[in-house]
Structure 1
Amino acid sequence: MAPNISVNTGNVTLDEKIKEWLLWNKDPKAAEEVQNYIDNGDIKKLSHLFLKRLEFGTAGLRGRMGPGYSQMNDLVIVQTSQGLTKYLLDTIFDVQDKGVILGYDGRYNSKRFAELTAVILINNNIKVYMYSTVCPTPFIPYGVLTFNCAAGIMITASHNPKEDNGYKVYWQNGAQIIPPHDKGIQKSILANLVPLDASWDVSKIYDSPLYKDPLKEIMRSYYAVLKDDVLYPEVNRNTILKFTYTAMHGVGYNYMVAAFEAANFKPFIVVEEQKNPDPEFPTVKFPNPEEGKSALDLSIKTANLNESTIILANDPDADRLACAVKSKNGDWRVFTGNELGALLGWWMLHVYQVRHPDADLSNTYMLASTVSSKILSSMAKKDGFQYEETLTGFKWMGNKATELIQNGKDVIFAYEEAIGFMCSSNVLDKDGISAGVRVAEMAAYLETMGLTLIDKLDELYAEYGHHISDNSYWICHEPETIKAIFERLRNHNGKPNSYPTSIIGGKYPIIGVRDLTTGYDNTKPGNKAILPVSKSCQMITFTFKNGLVTTLRTSGTEPKIKYYSELCASPEQQNLNELKGILSEMVSAIVTEFLQPEVNGLIPRSS
């Protein structure tokens, strides 16, 4: 029953959408919020909430929680789950037997959204494996493969602000969904918007013969695999290193405890204030360890008090990993995602070669996203393994890994610069739990030779050449402004495919342009890009004559224009200060000339 709310905004279509949502909604608090917007005459807000609809983006939905079709709420979850369920029934013939695995994090409404999804699957006679407590996101793709499920769903907004939540979908191959499934699911959602009465009754889930809690079985299996992959258990047990760990108010603590036990480490020191799930994220401005020292203040304080020299940090759903090391002068060095990618790439190759001394490395692969460092490419050329580049995001790396594995290849590592790491192919997605243990193992092994992670990174750059990056972002809440910025770059001289040819008045010429929004690439035959093209997001890469590669792109989940710049030097170019000076000069010019922050009213990252 719709509450007794009088709707009259002066817009017939808007009035109809508000009435429709109120008719189907069963959350009285959400209805009260809508009433307040109506009473205040906030037509702009009401139009945003009810005339726009969340669409499947980065492998699902992610957005702010609240009423309306453009936000995450019970009704949108019911509609989404009805559409997804119908799509699964139409697409996978044995979905009812295979089942779907479900998980949720510690955010507001996460368990509720998972239960609403579960009951709809059960109502359609689909087996449901739903974790009985909060779990890390990687337990969903791992569970898909372990139970041979038709799909997996994780309710999480990862490291987004506390107001957000998300709905992440994995396909039966254990990787995040990619086209055409995302569009197919969206179409199915729109065809199944009317909520069935049975879709709201979550009381029947736990007594249903179709429900199973997979937690114990996955815990046994996941940690047995993790333990089997440990190369030097005695080194781990005897290391003098003391590790500090933070779960960032997320789900990771218990799972990292189990990981350290499996890898034969002594217990780590925990940041007590951030140990347990807390949807308020009270001690951090942004619950994202990628933000660097600002997010690791408590971790550094805890480590210093306990004479610990290494910090491991998960984001709230434990699929990302950050690491900081105390240097010899007492300062803390927070590794970038690219630096950790270089270290873990070396370590995973080391482990693979020790275990398979006679392996043909030409069948061994590492992957990275196109905006990540080219360090793995440099390593591959020298060491003989294969390197593949994919579009940004683990949905592309996970599916590429699946394709390679099906063709008999070994995929031993994949990463993206946003501190996401896939160490082995047991989880076809980023996994902050296994990555945390691998970094700890590597540090313990290096310590036996008197080396730190910082020392090893310096060795890698000496061997393969410095790869120095400057990655950041500007905030822009106006989609039209973002579009105008990129269109200006595409029409630099007033004609299509006319891009900038240099910066600083010709000082640094541009020799390559790849636009994955339009499909233009002047370095390929017919000027056609090889990587998949997406008109729904902005992404242009400029390659400069001196070796700098810069990518400008929009975020699929946040109001940001991101830039990624890397200067790749040869091993002979070891003057780091000189290289840093060139990188700084070029990035500053790229921001000023290409993004024009002042002209476009962009908000800097630090604000």
Structure 2
Amino acid sequence: MTTSTGDLSSLVQTWLEWDQDPSTRTEITNLRDSNPSTELSQRLGQRIQFGTAGLRGRMAAGFSCMNSLTVIQASQGLAKYIRDKHPEIAGDGVVIGHDARYNSDRFARLAANAFVALKIPVWLYGEESVTPLVPFGVTYLRAAAGVMVTASHNPAQDNGYKVYFKNGAQINTPMDTEIAQCIEENLAPWPNAWEERQLDEYLRVNAYQKVLAKYQDAVNHYTKSTIPKWTPPKPFVYTPLHGVGGLVFPDLCRSMGITDFTPVSEQVNPDPDFPTVSFPNPEETGALDLAMQTADREDKGLVIAHDPDADRFAAAEKVNNSWFIFTGNHLGVLLASYIFEIQDFKKNTAVLNSTVSTGMLEKMALAKGIHFQESLTGFKWMGNIARTLEASYDVAFAFEEALGYMFPKICHDKDGITAAMIFLSAEAKWRSQGLTPYTKLQKLFEEYGYHETLNNYFRSPSPDVTARLFGAIRDGPYRTEKKLGSFKILRWRDMTEGYDSRTQDNKPTLPVDKGSQMLTLWLDRGVHFTLRGSGTEPKVKIYIEGCSGSREEGINAVCDAFLAVLNKWVKPFAPSMTYSKQLPTSSGHVFRVD
């Protein structure tokens, strides 16, 4: 985007008229006075995009970043949307929570001002909260909507603004577009937008402890209802990775009689700097190192972890004196298998996962006579699909490979706290059968086939490069020739263009999203993969799965598929994209790209 000098001067003036935060005003005036026009243009020349993930980005001054002003603008737009488009529920109020990141508490309080200004009641959590407590609170309080201020597992300099609607699920299209339009129409801060609100009939700050107690009771009851006799799990080490999980999970464990666990002392308290990890994401290599070192020192063979806002759950088990870190797919099928084992399912039970997650859940569900539903990527889809399915089915479980697990009996979003409790219950049950989570996983592979995955990404220098890559793939001969390297293409699905070679009318059954880039191919050798542009990061992500009769066959198949994509698509069509030279498969095998 090119911004002229006159336009830039006008944008600076507008920013300084609207922004009353001294720190971000100073950032803009310093940039103006030192005359770095490129930086100013990037900060002010475009707006941070509001989408189905709400807002997420770097905290800094400017319309393109997360800051007090852009949070006020988003909140004013959301408040106007609720008041004008859904006046019948506006009086039900909005739940607002926040994590422990820098500025999260301030952003939450500024957000509350917008709703109160339109006489929409606000249930403002006065304490740092785990993310699942907001969708749970929306349902429990029967609110019109919910806002969670969090950047989940992003780096320390980021923050975000996640929106839920009255059904307790994340907003989805076309609602995001409608809210974005309302934001554009309400950019100038309203009177009192920057003021510290006093308690009145519209601002309620005493809801947190009440909702937390109800949430803990619900998780406690749901967990204990899954087994005839509750028994504690084996001793374990716990880390919330400097996030808010440590404010909730240890107390929940103790309330259920789980006392033999060791928190990672360096990581158990919230710290917005995340000082002991390069990235506060349990999926990242090295994120669980300190927890595993603590477990070695404490002679414990199990690690339980949450990401910083506790909506994701991770686990590792010591196997033959070395640590095995479960992938999101591993944990998803383990949790599903436990739920299938302990619940008396009726024919109207349903489970679901996303198209980038393992196909093993579908096999398991069909074997039990349970309805399986595939969804697009993200819990914005799975939460809303679950709500729709509930008209005909008892929806028991949903998951996505990125360590996200949903239990609709608790809430309609990913919930790392509940997932950890169910996993610990499963561990106790399997231990009584002479199994561990790892050996249980191997038994599932023996029954349903060895599912090996290789999930990674190519770093894209720009959205234009990403678009050119997908355009070149679509314009190539691959779909008609039905070949990709040495693989035969059995099925081709394009969720951007709306094409599926398997259906009678060549239209996909999943919703088409022309605003994203997403291709899924089914190949021979039991391989299928999805290539998609990330909606929040400068990445093109690839999710490869192969199902074979042995681990070795699965490893070879997914590694060969990655090389085919790399050599036939990425290198010829997007040579500026970068990628890791060492890629781990789901079984821990490291695949080196020379």
Match status 1:478 vs 2:462: yes
After TM superposition, the runs of 4+ consecutive aligned structure 1 residues lying more than 6 A away are: none
Distance in 1, Cα, partners of 2:7 & 2:309: 39
Distance in 2, Cα, partners of 1:209 & 1:560: 42
Distance in 2, Cα, partners of 1:96 & 1:392: 30
Which stretches in structure 2 are left out of the alignment for 5+ residues? Answer: 583-594
Correspondence 1:235-254 to 2 at 5 A: 235-237=230-232, 239=233, 241-254=234-247
Deviations 1:272-303 (A, max 9, x none): 111111111111000000114x1011101111
Residue 385 of structure 2 is matched in structure 1 by 400
Match status 1:332 vs 2:326: no
Correspondence 1:367-378 to 2 at 5 A: 367-378=352-363
- TM-score under structure 2 length normalisation: 0.94
Q: From the superposition, tell whether residues 56 and 606 of structure 1 become closer, same or farther in structure 2 (CA, over 3 Å).
A: farther
Distance in 1, Cα, partners of 2:490 & 2:65: 43
Distance in 2, Cα, partners of 1:300 & 1:98: 45
Partner of 2:173, secondary structure, is coil
Of 373, 382, 385, which residue of structure 1 is paired with 2:367?
382
Q: State percent identity of aligned pairs.
A: 40
Correspondence 1:272-351 to 2 at 5 A: 272-292=265-285, 294-327=286-319, 329-351=320-342
Partner of 1:202, secondary structure, is coil
Q: From the superposition, tell whether residues 114 and 49 of structure 1 become closer, same or farther in structure 2 (CA, over 3 Å).
A: same
Match status 1:104 vs 2:98: yes
Are the aligned partners of 2:116 and 2:202 in contact in 1 as well (CA < 8 Å)?
no
Residue 450 of structure 1 is matched in structure 2 by 434
Match status 1:129 vs 2:129: no
Are the aligned partners of 1:157 and 1:164 in contact in 2 as well (CA < 8 Å)?
yes
Distance in 2, Cα, partners of 1:264 & 1:213: 28
Match status 1:529 vs 2:508: yes
Partner of 1:546, secondary structure, is coil
Q: How much does 1:10 deviate?
A: 5.0
Deviations 1:389-431 (A, max 9, x none): 00000010000110111x1411111000000001343210000
Distance in 2, Cα, partners of 1:457 & 1:498: 36
Correspondence 1:359-374 to 2 at 5 A: 359-360=345-346, 362-374=347-359
Distance in 2, Cα, partners of 1:207 & 1:114: 17
Partner of 2:396, secondary structure, is strand
Match status 1:563 vs 2:560: no
Partner of 2:87, secondary structure, is coil
Distance in 2, Cα, partners of 1:18 & 1:373: 49
Correspondence 1:503-518 to 2 at 5 A: 503-504=484-485, 507-518=486-497
Distance in 2, Cα, partners of 1:592 & 1:167: 38
Are the aligned partners of 2:547 and 2:554 in contact in 1 as well (CA < 8 Å)?
no
Q: How much does 1:127 deviate?
A: 1.2
Are the aligned partners of 2:119 and 2:202 in contact in 1 as well (CA < 8 Å)?
no
Deviations 1:473-502 (A, max 9, x none): 122231111111111101014xxx956732
Q: From the superposition, tell whether residues 477 and 233 of structure 1 become closer, same or farther in structure 2 (CA, over 3 Å).
A: farther
Q: How much does 1:455 deviate?
A: 0.5
Of 422, 427, 431, which residue of structure 1 is paired with 2:411?
427
Distance in 2, Cα, partners of 1:117 & 1:20: 21
Distance in 2, Cα, partners of 1:443 & 1:597: 47
Q: How much does 1:67 deviate?
A: 1.0
Q: How much does 1:526 deviate?
A: 2.7
Distance in 2, Cα, partners of 1:432 & 1:605: 28
Correspondence 1:37-186 to 2 at 5 A: 37-186=31-180
Partner of 2:192, secondary structure, is helix
Q: How much does 1:579 deviate?
A: 2.6
Distance in 1, Cα, partners of 2:562 & 2:4: 49
Residue 257 of structure 1 is matched in structure 2 by 250
Q: From the superposition, tell whether residues 597 and 311 of structure 1 become closer, same or farther in structure 2 (CA, over 3 Å).
A: farther
Residue 4 of structure 1 is matched in structure 2 by none
Distance in 2, Cα, partners of 1:518 & 1:330: 49
Partner of 2:284, secondary structure, is helix
Partner of 2:541, secondary structure, is strand
Partner of 2:402, secondary structure, is coil
Deviations 1:18-38 (A, max 9, x none): 211111111222122223333
Partner of 1:295, secondary structure, is coil
Aligned residue type for 1:226: V
Are the aligned partners of 2:530 and 2:542 in contact in 1 as well (CA < 8 Å)?
yes
Are the aligned partners of 1:31 and 1:67 in contact in 2 as well (CA < 8 Å)?
yes
Are the aligned partners of 1:226 and 1:262 in contact in 2 as well (CA < 8 Å)?
no
Residue 447 of structure 2 is matched in structure 1 by 463
Residue 604 of structure 1 is matched in structure 2 by 579
Q: From the superposition, tell whether residues 10 and 489 of structure 1 become closer, same or farther in structure 2 (CA, over 3 Å).
A: closer
Aligned residue type for 1:601: S
Deviations 1:50-106 (A, max 9, x none): 121112223311111111111011111111111110000012223343110010001
Q: How much does 1:606 deviate?
A: 7.5
Distance in 1, Cα, partners of 2:357 & 2:343: 23
Q: How many residues align?
A: 578
Q: How much does 1:14 deviate?
A: 2.4
Are the aligned partners of 2:120 and 2:202 in contact in 1 as well (CA < 8 Å)?
no
Aligned residue type for 2:494: D
Q: How much does 1:203 deviate?
A: 3.6
Are the aligned partners of 1:223 and 1:258 in contact in 2 as well (CA < 8 Å)?
no
Are the aligned partners of 1:226 and 1:263 in contact in 2 as well (CA < 8 Å)?
no
Q: How much does 1:511 deviate?
A: 1.8
Q: From the superposition, tell whether residues 606 and 421 of structure 1 become closer, same or farther in structure 2 (CA, over 3 Å).
A: farther
After TM superposition, the structure 1 stretch with the greater mean CA deviation from structure 2, 477-486 or 35-44, is 35-44
Q: How much does 1:17 deviate?
A: 1.7
After TM superposition, the structure 1 stretch with the greater mean CA deviation from structure 2, 47-56 or 261-270, is 261-270
Kindly report the root-mean-square deviation, in angstroms, between the aligned alpha carbons of the 2 structures.
1.9
Partner of 1:308, secondary structure, is coil
Deviations 1:555-606 (A, max 9, x none): 111111100011123xxx2x32123222212222222222228952223258
Which stretches in structure 1 are left out of the alignment for 5+ residues? Answer: 1-8, 354-358
Deviations 1:317-349 (A, max 9, x none): 00000100001x210000000111110110112
Are the aligned partners of 1:489 and 1:500 in contact in 2 as well (CA < 8 Å)?
no
Residue 352 of structure 1 is matched in structure 2 by 343
Q: How much does 1:515 deviate?
A: 0.9
After TM superposition, the structure 1 stretch with the greater mean CA deviation from structure 2, 453-462 or 192-201, is 192-201
